[in-house]
Structure 1
Amino acid sequence: MQNLVKETRYTWEQTEHKQQTPIHIVDSIMGAGKTSWSIQFMNEADSDKNFLYITPFLNEVQRVKESVTSRKFATPEPKGKNKGKMDDLKQLIMKDSDIASTHALFQKADTELIELIKAGNFTLILDEVMNVVEQCNLNSDDFKWLLDGGMISVDDDTGLIQWNDDGKYQDTRYKDIKTLAETNNLYFFENTVLFWTFPISVFKAFKEVYIMTYLFQCQQQKYYYDLYNVDYAYKAVQKLPNGKYNLINHYDKEPYDKGAIKALINIYDGKLNNLGDDKNAFSVSWFRREQNKHLIEKLQKNIGTYFKNNVKTPAELNMWTCFKDDIPKLKGKGYTKGFVANNARATNDFKEKESLAYAVNRFMNPYEKKFFTSKGVTVNEDMYALSELIQWIWRSRIRNGKAINLYIPSKRMRTILTDYLDSDL
């Protein structure tokens, strides 16, 4: 697992291509003060600078609106029957407003929004990475109809889909396909799969970009930037003696105390782990196999045993996860209400949770992985799995420096975590 600790440095100065928009990856462990730094930064910024703050959750939107007292943030809202949140976002951009919104809305960016941002003086602060590459659901018959009718065409070399229609189908069920194609972010892949990639031109439209996350080097958005040859520089948050925050070069920071973090995590080691020795145990495909039906029943009993007999914490302090489709199979008395989605990020709503069960073995979507690798982008699935696991664990009270109990029945995921805790990453 030594490859877990290797990291490539990227700066826009190191390449011949000069990127107009500086992109800063604020890569610090959860609880280091990334959001606190961003609030301080926006409070102290010059009045002629405008901010677009994007976060996964509405409660974090509200937090920013209440905490940034030197400027008034607006949130896009639907305006009548035919004016949705995107329409309001565009109006707010035109007014040079400071805006706080969600990933879900920002992911719908179209060419008009990009041009409006470019015309302003906006800095983007992105709280956690987004899903920037996704499989687009267009059935093969509809795709063939659009292709045969000449509404779309596919570049033979790149797979990039172009929209050729003059607007006839703009207000039909193909409107979303039209929007994606017009921003040059829809690909035909493996003869059947359509992939949407978030418009890279969005990031280039801002005067400056800050992305707040942890372990960026193993996340999908990093692979996406590599795909488009985007340059970026790593930064880290440093808390000063006076309680304020500062951004420093990622490689100049003093490493956080990994030993102290390791001491806070009581990882279960016992017979309840015997079920997960296979490398693929508890992956999506494993749960879908009919022959594993009884093993899934055994896993459900093991989770219940762990909470009831091993850690003996009350239900309100228990937190668990699995893939969404498997919740009915794995839920049980004493922990069901403590479910937290395995891709949870950027939320403090579960910071009181003490005992955790992670019934997931994370791999990249195989089509997404193949899409990146086919474009020459190197993908590290163990690092990807580590990033997802760490983000989930840090929803619990460990983010406040308190000890937790952790049950990870997958040997692969458990090994990835213990190797990380023993490394200098």
Structure 2
Amino acid sequence: MEKVKVIDSIMGSGKTTYIIKMMNEAPKNEHFIFITPYLDEVTRIKRSCTNRKFYEPKIHSEEGETLYKLDSLHKHLADNNDIVTTHALFSMANETTKELIYSGNYTLILDETMEVVKKLNISKDDLDMLFQNEWIKNNNGTIIWNDEQERNLNREYKGEFQTLKHLAKSKNLILHNESVLFWQFPADIFAQFKQVYNLTYLFDAQIQKYYYDINGIEYELYAVVKDNDSYKLMQHSRQFDKAKKDVLRHKIRIYEGELNKIGDDYYALSKNWFEKRSVLHKRLKNNILNYYQNILKSKSKDNLWTTFKSHKSKLSGKGYTKGFLACNIKATNEYSHKKSLVYSINRFVNPAIDDYFRSKGIIINEDNFALSEMIQWIWRSAIRNGQVINIYVPSSRMRKLLKDWLENER
């Protein structure tokens, strides 16, 4: 396969505009799959690609939850339609999906990086039980479903591990340290495409970069630059970001003051801190209230904040609770009117994932990862439209990362 073309450019630099123009101008016998994190971006692509028709695989509701139908995706692939859908559906790809992509001569546009490695929430006891009852087998570190056991018992397994069964049958489950199960997106799917484009920012900081490395997927970095009234691809250079950050430096107003004392420790506001420092939760909540009500005197409609979802209720307060936005959000414009931000979190890579990559000889740069996640979150706000924003970042570590980035030191 050709090397993946990673278009690594700062948000708002024109990545999607460039790709839309490329798809609109491509010959009719070219076929594209555009994968994006959110449904509002699906609508944007369908409206913007005026020279070709993009199809969206159908969805259906089951027990109140919206689910994607893989067979609908397969029908569009078989018909050689141009397709736009979400990461959620693409992550369900199986052997049939791969065959249809390869025979259809498709180009993939992957908007933002995906969750390509995920720790499954299954206890060692449950895992041992599945092994002992011979429902699963270990094939050189890959967990596979034992179809023979179903034949021997003359019945299909329909227990509580149906999801695990589906993943195991797709051969996407990895056993780590004899006790932890990871789902990994099938790396060989990228080889089925004629060409792959990956649109993102700070790619070197992201888990998908490390995933490419351990799976031997080669890539090359590009940047999108303005060329008169259009955009073009150039070999990547961080210098392209400098002019943009020179402007941002004056539009992102970072709070400095007494409310930052709670985050002086390097690990303050990390997940472990929230779990072991419950006595400080109320103080952090009061700090957030103080920041919004007294320091900014902001209106609730302007407030945007985040923390770990499991601790959201402990920090929620009057005037900002409804402005919560998950810390791992990407590629949505829904909050672009928000001007008063609180980033009450200190990001680190999940220890199990970090250990998994270490076992493969890959060391994840924790600071770069944290910076990338924070910038993506901040970019959901009014800064994406060039407006001034105010932000309270109580973690000294996260605040320094943000300042260094703005000063072109990262």
Band of TM-score, shorter chain: over 0.9
**Retained in 2: the 8 A contact 1:238–1:253?**
no
Shift of 1:56: 0.9
Q: Secondary structure at the match of 1:256?
A: helix
Following the alignment from structure 1 to structure 2, what is the Cα–Cα distance between the partners of residues 298 and 251?
Answer: 43
Match of 1:105 in 2: 89
Relative distance call for 1:385 and 1:274 in structure 2 (3 A) is same
Deviation at 1:253, TM superposition (A): 6.3
Is the 8 Å Cα contact of residues 21 and 205 (structure 1) preserved in structure 2?
Answer: no
What is the aligned partner in structure 1 of residue 143 from structure 2? 161
Cα contact 2:54–2:83 (8 A) shared by 1: yes
- Could you tell me which residue of structure 2 aligns to residue 75 of structure 1? 56
Change beyond 3 A, Cα 1:252–1:30:
closer
Cα distance in 1, alignment partners of residues 184 and 280 from structure 2: 37
Moved more, 331-340 or 121-130: 331-340
Report if the CA contact (8 A) 2:18-2:232 is conserved. Answer: yes
Q: Distance in 2 between matches of 1:191 and 1:171?
A: 23
1:278 and 2:278 matched: no
Q: Distance in 2 between matches of 1:170 and 1:408?
A: 52
1:186-335 pair list within 5 angstroms: 186-242=173-229, 244-251=230-237, 254-257=240-243, 258-289=245-276, 292-335=277-320
* Equivalent pair of 2:135/2:149 in contact (CA under 8 Å): no
Residue in 1 aligned with 2:341?
356
* 2:11 matches 1:26: no
Unaligned segments of structure 2, at least 5 residues: none
Aligned-partner SS, 1:405: strand
CA distance in 1, matches of 2:70, 2:356: 29
Q: Distance in 2 between matches of 1:227 and 1:89?
A: 28
TM-score, normalised to structure 2, is 0.92
CA distance 1:368–1:306, change in 2 (3 Å): same
Q: Partners in 2 of 1:371 and 1:338 — Cα distance?
A: 35
State the shift of 1:251 in Å. 3.0
* Aligned counterpart, 2:104: 120
Distance in 1 between residues matched to 2:211 and 2:261, nearest whole Å: 37
Q: CA, structure 1 residues 141+424, in 2 after alignment: closer, same or farther (shift >3 Å)? A: closer
**Distance of 2:30 and 2:409 partners within structure 1:** 38
Check conservation: 1:361, 1:413, Cα contact below 8 A: yes
1:250-284 residue CA offsets vs partner (Å, 9 max, x unmatched)? 13964431222211111111000001111111111
Percentage identity across paired residues of the two chains: 45
- Match of 1:233, SS state, is strand
Q: Using the alignment, how far apart are the partners of 1:60 and 1:106 within structure 2?
A: 15
Shift of 1:161: 2.2
Distance 1:381 1:32 in 2: 25
Name the CA distance, whole Å, in 2 between partners of 1:405 and 1:47: 47
Give the superposed CA RMSD.
2.1
SS in 1 for 2:147: coil
After TM superposition, the score normalised by the length of structure 1 is 0.89
Q: State the Cα deviation string for residues 121-173 of structure 1 (Å, max 9, x = none).
A: 11111111011000123343442243234443325xx6322334248376635
1:143 — aligned with what? 127
Count of residue correspondences: 400
| Counterpart contact for 1:24–1:211, Cα < 8 Å | yes
Question: In structure 1, the residue corresponding to 2:34 is in which secondary structure?
Answer: strand
1-structure distance, mates of 2:3, 2:232: 18
The answer to whether the 8 Å contact 1:236/1:253 transfers is no
Alpha-carbon separation, structure 2, partners of 1:110 and 1:170: 20
Cα displacement (A) at 1:112: 1.4
The code of the aligned residue for 1:224 comes to Y
- Unaligned segments of structure 1, at least 5 residues: 1-19
Shift of 1:79: 7.4
1:340 to partner: Cα distance: 1.2
Aligned partners of 1:170 and 1:178 also within 8 Å: no
SS at match of 1:263: coil
